[in-house]
């Protein structure tokens, strides 16, 4: 499903589009940092901007948008939002697009789930939930880890569906409109 639309063929137009997409993505990250609720929704919206960058600019252009937005996210909203975007919500759509081109859908989903689960476990252990392994065993810590992992798997299933629907919508409705306008 991933293909470049080539609606912006010149280098100047691609640079301008990359800047606009970086600004839009950063706007979602700023809102995620300052809004009291809806943080994960806004981070997901920012990751969909990365998908648009993949479709319009290719994987290299999307990676540049990702790097620029991640650097800007560390500057303004806060470190937590920047880390969440850089390690999860910005990395995930690029991983999915990269694997979708090279492997089957099943393998792409399995690899995505394994990589994101490993990253979530590392994040949990860095935060401090690993104390149950070294100190006194508390069942509540194990329950927290299990709940986080189950929630992550449900989120990834929903995210794959949302990503597929968004790509279809973008390719069917938005991309032809952009090509007509340019």
Output the six-digit token pair for 105.
Answer: 């859908």
Q: How confident is the model at residue 182 (pLDDT cuts 50, 70, 90)?
A: low
**All residues at 6 or more sequence positions from 60 whose CB lies less than 8 Å from its CB, including other chains:** none
Q: What is the pLDDT of residue 111?
A: 94
Mean pLDDT for the stretch of residues 1-24: 78
Q: Where are the domains of the chain?
A: 11-181
* Of 125 and 41, more confident: 41
Output the six-digit token pair for 115.
Answer: 């990589």
């Amino acid at each position: 499903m991933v293909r470049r639309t080539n609606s912006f063929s010149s280098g100047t137009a691609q640079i301008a589009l990359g800047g606009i997409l970086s600004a839009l993505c950063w706007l979602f990250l700023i809102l995620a940092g300052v809004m009291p609720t809806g943080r994960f929704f806004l981070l997901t919206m920012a990751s969909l901007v990365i998908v648009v960058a993949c479709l319009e600019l290719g994987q290299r252009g999307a990676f540049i948008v990702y790097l620029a937005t991640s650097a800007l996210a560390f500057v303004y909203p806060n470190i937590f939002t920047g880390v969440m975007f850089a390690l999860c919500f910005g990395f995930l759509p690029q991983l999915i697009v990269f694997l979708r081109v090279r492997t089957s859908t099943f393998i792409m989903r399995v690899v995505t789930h394994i990589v994101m689960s490993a990253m979530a476990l590392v994040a949990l252990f860095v935060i401090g939930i690993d104390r149950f392994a070294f100190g006194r065993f508390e069942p509540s810590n194990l329950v927290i880890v299990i709940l986080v992992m189950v929630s992550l798997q449900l989120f990834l299933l929903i995210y794959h569906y949302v990503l597929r629907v968004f790509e279809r919508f973008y390719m069917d409705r938005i991309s032809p409109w952009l090509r007509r306008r340019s």
